[in-house]
Structure 1
Amino acid sequence: MATSIYHHSSKSQLEYSVFGRGKKTLVCYHGFGQKPDDFQFLEDHLIDYRIIVIRLFYHGRSKRRNNEISHIRIPEWKIIFTDFLHSLQIERFSLLAYSMGGRFALASFLGSENKIDQVILVAPDGIIRRFWYQLATFPVVLRQVFYLLMIEPKPFFWLLDRLEKKGWMNQTMIKFARKELQSEDKRLLVYRTWVSFKHLRIPQKQLIQHVNQSASHFTFIFGEKDKMIDPVPHQHFLSQLKKSDIHITTYGHNKLVENTINIIAATLNK
């Protein structure tokens, strides 16, 4: 798949891919460690759409100023994303995001509410606070410990073994950590994204207000077997949404976009 690079005046840059030749536009954000071609299958189901997949920062060739590791906040992303839309002459579009990409989709929504038709969030990260995420990135002392564990993983994997034996961490998270964190590149990617994206979220009360008042239609998709983005802690949030579509499916976290393509296609092809 051919990719392109968008260069922003802030010296940040975005790698993105475009496929499909429809007249409508769908902007997609992938999850942790994914690539644009993980979403290429959408082309067969969304023939009316031009599909643009933006790589998250620290993935591929998407990078911030000098690839610095510091908090990105919503105002900064809104400026970059607005200029990105202008560069591609996009006037109206829909959003689809999976897992970690949900943070970017919601930040993009805040900057372009009057241009968006549909927002589909599949197992979105950033709506509720997750204990391990907060522990690893706050306060500064713990963040430094987290960094050292990513550089020298033996104590980290020892800690995983202890947590597993005590039953303090679910098997899905253990399996994910052992699989994804074998290489130093992946461990550093975890550190960079967790630290940099921490503040790329909308306070829950504010998010509920925006979703309920927006002219854009929201669809939330979760998997009941998903232990990474568990739907159960989201129930209070979801119960306060007045006009959104909510789907709790039978699947787990992995390949949730592929497994729920029928819901996604039905929503976008209305």
Structure 2
Amino acid sequence: MQRFFTEYEQATFSYLKGGSGKEVLVCLHGFGEEAAKFAFLEKHLGDAFTIYALDFPWHGETKWHKTLTFPTKGMMLLLEQMIDDYKNKKIHLLCYSMGGRVGLSLLERIPQQIETATFLAPDGLKVNFWYWLATQTGAGNSLFRFTMQYPQWFAWMVDVLKRAGWINISVAKFVHAYIDNKKMRDDLYRIWTTMRKFRPHLQQVKQQIIKHRIPVHLLFGEYDRVILPAYGFRLQKGAEPFVRVTVLKSGHQLLKEKNAAIIVQALTAATLK
């Protein structure tokens, strides 16, 4: 895949483009990852799709020089800048983890532009209280910033909740992986705060899927303790003709070469509907 750059206000966004197919596939990566994570799919999908994979702010080769806000309209403008003849084409979405929250927001905002959507362990299907507090309220964001600078009290609280059985061990380990490392704490604050405007309203997302008859395929890991398959079945309820849910014998890391066949199958099956 070849790397390109495009400007959005004071930021320089990096994206990869590959394949030569007539269908357009937009790939959106997860937290702490980058567009290159999708590169292995070019050999599987390059004949059917032209693939665009974007680096989000604070990820990959994107240079973010703006304030800590990336608006949804900015994402829509980037699609126009990246994709040749965008206004006359529909796009297919392939979204992993945090990229799922962005993809769901696009389904809500520009459903007429979307042909199909495939989500791998997508964030955004459930409103997490702590994420909402840290990113959607001024007081919560101030507390979030303080905690990322002085994390000891929060680490103690997580351990207390784990011992009390209020959170499971996997979640506690996931939290400690971030708060015990300064760089990861800094990244967490910047990324969560910058991406906070992507907050899909799931009832509206479902309505748009039904109204525009958009095939949606949700893939989850059976052993994922953060993004649960139950969230996908909740979105599917009432939209069964258009929303399909598949649960794999896996954890959260679904965007891997070993899952190429099931990802390709999900994309091509939706495309042929």
C-alpha displacement at 1:159, in angstroms?
A: 2.9
Q: Structure 1 residues 201 and 162, CA, compared in 2 at 3 Å: closer, same or farther?
A: same
Map Cα deviations across residues 38-70 of structure 1 (whole Å, 9 max, x no partner).
Answer: 222212322323322101122134355x33113
Partner of 1:194: 192
Tell me, yes or no, if the aligned pair for 1:82 and 1:111 is still in contact at 8 Å: no
Distance 2:185 2:75 in 1: 24
Read off the aligned partner of 1:17 and give its amino acid letter.
L
The alpha-carbon distance between structure 1 residues 236 and 112, as it changes in their structure 2 partners (threshold 3 A), is: closer
Matches within 5 A, 1:86-101: 86=84, 91-101=89-99
Partner residue of 1:4? 4
**TM-score scaled by length of structure 2:** 0.84
Counterparts of 2:159 and 2:182, CA distance in 1 = 19
Task: Report what 1:39 is aligned to.
Answer: 38
1:79-116 Cα offsets, whole Å, 9 max, x none, are 34333335889834311001100122233345553443
1:146 to 2:134 alignment: no
- Could you say if the C-alpha distance between residues 20 and 245 of structure 1 is closer, same or farther in structure 2, counting changes exceeding 3 Å? same
Give TM-score scaled by structure 1 length.
Answer: 0.85
> Which residue does the alignment assign to 1:51?
51
CA–CA distance in structure 1, aligned partners of residues 152 and 211 of structure 2? 49
- Judging changes above 3 Å, is the alpha-carbon distance between structure 1 residues 230 and 203 closer, same or farther for their aligned structure 2 residues? same
Task: Report the secondary structure of 2:218's partner residue.
Answer: strand
Determine the structure 1 residue equivalent to 2:28: 29
C-alpha distance in 1, partners of 2:77/2:207? 22
Name whichever of 20-29 and 79-88 sits farther off: 79-88
Structure 2 residue aligned with 1:222: 220
Q: Distance in 2 between matches of 1:194 and 1:213?
A: 31
| Cα 1:183–1:27 shift into 2, 3 Å | same
**1:169 CA drift (Å):** 2.1
Residue in 2 that maps onto 1:102: 100
- 1:211 equivalent in structure 2: 209
The equivalent residue for 2:67 is 68
Superposed CA RMSD: 2.7
**1:168 equivalenced with 2:137 (yes/no):** no
The gaps in structure 2 that reach 5 residues or longer are none
Counterpart code for 2:201: P
Structure 1 residue runs without a partner (length 5+): none
Distance 1:33 1:87, change over 3 A: farther
Greater shift, 161-170 or 257-266, is seen at 257-266
Greater CA deviation, 200-209 or 161-170?
161-170
